[in-house]
Amino acid sequence: MSSNDEQLPIKMINTPIISLLALSRNLSKITQELINLIAKVFNESLFVTHTAREWIWGYEDPLLKAVKRLPIVGQFVPDDHFGYFYRQNNSDNGIFTVFTGVSVLPYWHTSSCNQINGTDGNWFPPLTSVNKRLYLYSTEICRSIYITFEYHSSVLNIATESFSIPAEVFYNSTINPNNAGFGTLDSGVLDVSKCKQGAPIIISLPHFLYAAERYKSRIDGLIPNADIHRTVLQIEPYTGFVLNAQKRLQLNILIQYDPLFDDLKNLHDLILPALWLNQSATIDQKTANELH
């Protein structure tokens, strides 16, 4: 992204106010009314405009700042800044606390879904077999997933095996009973609010690839295409190193009916796409020469 692109103004869903309303649903009605009153004082609307840089890396939000100062309620507001990748970069996934004695995650409904399996996705065990699933843990979706072999490939003349996340990983529990612990939403979407400090974030593949038709039918302009909207890893089978990666993901916001907020009084619940990303990486020629 160039500096000019970073300053591009973009109107998007007002995620901070949607997040505050979602958090307040578990609080008293008086607290809910107080948050709505503050939102009106700050003239908050359902859609707001910020630069691309602000949406990605963060900006100070006056509403979050005001609510964070309130007694009791303020403890539920983690920060007075908002950005989809605030305090993140290409090499930092945040602080991990290890050796605590905890062996599973706290986010999901079954022990199997809360297990941490596999690697971080940058490498896998050597002598990779095309007949086996490869497991990895994704910090973006707060769960372990697996990839399966698709086809033989090459990267800079090095033979690789291409693996991708199969559609069954995203199916609901009616189709794939192993996913029963990941919530009650339909196929293709995952509610990760519990691991995103209560923000109503829903994860899917870009353009709702593999998602239920009821999510896609409510959004205009979607053209899901498996060739460009799925995650693919090209793995060197002897070392297990990932030589090329195309990680695709879509961030969506769950918008729910709220009788106390004027802009949400007449809306039905909706999963609205906010952005989708393609994180790509490949080895350079020097590294390829060392692997030959």
Per-residue pLDDT of 218-238, as tens digits, reads 999 999 999 999 999 999 999
| Domain identity same for 103 and 218 | yes
Q: What is the pLDDT of residues 249-261, one digit of tens each?
A: 999 999 999 887 8
CA angle 138, 141, 145 (to 5 degrees): 50
Going 113 to 114 to 117 to 122, the CA torsion angle's sign is positive
Q: Quick one: 3 and 109 in the same domain?
A: no
Do 52 and 124 reside in the same domain of the chain?
no
**pTM to 2 decimals?**
0.88
Name the token pair of 9.
Answer: 């103004």
191 with 212, same domain: the answer is: yes
Shared domain for 21 and 131, answered yes or no, is no
User: Does one domain contain both 245 and 134?
Assistant: yes
- Residues 86, 143, single domain; the answer is no
Mean pLDDT score across all residues of the chain = 89
- CA-wise closest residue to 149 among 225, 211, 235, 243: 235
Confidence of residue 94 (pLDDT cuts 50, 70, 90): low
Indicate the number of domains in the chain.
Answer: 2
Six-digit token string for 225: 């295409």
Residue 53 tokens, joined: 């840089």
Q: Do 134 and 146 meet the contact criterion of CB atoms below 8 Å apart?
A: yes
For residue 286, give its domain range: 99-292
pLDDT score of 207: 98
* Residues 121, 242 contacting (CB under 8 angstroms): yes
Q: Same domain, yes or no, for 88 and 104?
A: no
Averaged pLDDT for residues 134-139: 94
Residue 103's pLDDT band (boundaries 50, 70, 90)? Answer: low
Q: Are residues 115 and 2 in the same domain?
A: no
pLDDT surpassing 80 at residue 279? yes
Instruction: Name the amino acid, one letter, at 152.
Output: H
Pair (85, 111) in one structural domain: no
Q: What is the rounded distance in angstroms from the CA atom of residue 138 to the CA atom of residue 170?
A: 14
pLDDT band at 4 (very low <50, low <70, confident <90, very high): low
The predicted pLDDT at position 148 comes to 98
pLDDT at 98 over 60: no
